[in-house]
Amino acid sequence: MRLEGFEPPTLGSEDRCSIPLSYSRVASSQKTISSVVDSQGVTAWPRPAPLATMGGVGLATYQACTFAEKRDVLRIFWSRRDEGSDKVRDAAREYGPYALVMVAVITVELAIITAALLTDANAWAWLAAPLTLLGALSTWWTGVCHHSLRRRGDSSRS
């Protein structure tokens, strides 16, 4: 008999991950996340949708690029150069909103950490404040790169 609140034993070896912990029972009338049980009885939980399919951010062209093409995409995006194949330029334009959101999120996180450190008069605030400024400048540069490529893409398609 298994006690409630303890992890059930797993059948996998050390090279496999443990199943998620279950510390409470869910009433059968409540809807739960559907799970799949494999042939050995181990629960596999569904993965969340990747960012590329959420919120209209499409990275299909970027994901279809080879490693060398992805390197070209990053070089074109961050340097604002208009060179390379149509596929690489399209992938760089797709990459723009994703990069802008990710850099902005990191900057907001740094700002929150800086505010907390300053509030506590922590000695680490001297490091967090310049990093937050660097994050703000990075967000600005990402926006400049994104708008530059988007503008060139709009003018070349006209």
The predicted-structure confidence for 86-130, as pLDDT tens digits, reads as follows 898 888 888 888 899 999 999 999 999 999 988 888 888 888 889
Q: Are residues 67 and 110 in the same domain?
A: yes
Between 156 and 109, residue with greater pLDDT = 109
In the predicted model, what is the mean pLDDT of residues 142-148?
91
76 and 101 co-located in one domain: yes
Q: Would you call 36 helix, strand, or coil by DSSP? A: strand
Task: Based on the fold, state whether residues 33 and 72 are members of the same structural domain.
Answer: no
Residue 134 in tokens: 């660097």
Cβ neighbour number for residue 57 with a 10 Å cutoff: 15
Domain holding 125, by residue range, is 51-157
Please report the pLDDT score of residue 12 as a whole number: 55
Do 119 and 153 fall into the same domain? Answer: yes
57 and 133 co-located in one domain: yes
pTM of the model: 0.57
DSSP label at 49?
P
40 plus 63 within the same structural domain: no
Q: Does residue 132 share a domain with residue 79?
A: yes
